[in-house]
Amino acid sequence: MSELQFPFTFAADPNTDLWKKPPSHDAKNAHPKAPVRPLSKAPLAQFQSASVSFTCPYTVHVTTLPDADGHVVAGKKSITVRVERDGVTLWVYWVNGDEKVALREIAWVYGPDGAGEGWELEVGALVARPNPEAKDQLVATFQNLEVAWAKQ
């Protein structure tokens, strides 16, 4: 994979998404419509953590920050999101200085009985704007993207 130079900026058109929720929802219109910048790839079993810091304009409710009170405040604020492996589960955190706020547990990735064996995980930056009625692109600037893999 090529080295990314930071910061970098790219944008996604309205109605772009990458989301799968079986049995019926399978939105794969992110690539090539939404830009993706891969950074690192390795076996899923080696994944330890990934952190990304970015800014974008927060103009609608679905692009507000985790500490938002429901009001949309126009402007840009850098946020950091971190994913960490914890045994057979992944945790997604919003990082606010020295504080980590748990946003979501992803418990299905490693699963029982060797689920995920043989899978490769690719980590990178993606921008998507799922709202089909949005008028403008969502423009994001990435300041940092780090990935940690276990040694094999």
Q: What is the pLDDT of residues 75-99, one digit of tens each?
A: 678 889 999 999 889 999 999 899 9
Using a CB cutoff of 8 Å and minimum separation of 24, what contacts does 148-151 make?
A: 148/48, 148/49, 148/50, 149/40, 149/42, 149/46, 149/47, 149/48, 150/45, 150/46, 150/47, 150/48, 151/46
Measured between alpha carbons, how far is 127 from 61 in angstroms, rounded to an integer?
16
Question: If you ran DSSP here, which 8-state letter would residue 151 be given?
Answer: -
Q: What is the mean pLDDT of the chain?
A: 80
Q: Are 145 and 4 in contact (CB under 8 A)?
A: yes
The answer, yes or no, to whether residue 142 has pLDDT greater than 60, is yes
Q: How many CA atoms lie within 13 A of 147 on its CB side?
A: 18
- pLDDT value of position 85: 95
The domain spans of the chain are 8-149
Nearest to 106 by CA among 115, 98, 97: 115
pTM of the model: 0.77
The answer, yes or no, to whether residue 140 has pLDDT greater than 60, is yes
The answer, yes or no, to whether residue 115 has pLDDT greater than 90, is no
Asked which of 51-55, 75-79, 122-126 is least confident by mean pLDDT, the reply is 75-79
Instruction: Name 93's bridge partners.
Output: 82, 102
Instruction: Name 36's bridge partners.
Output: 126
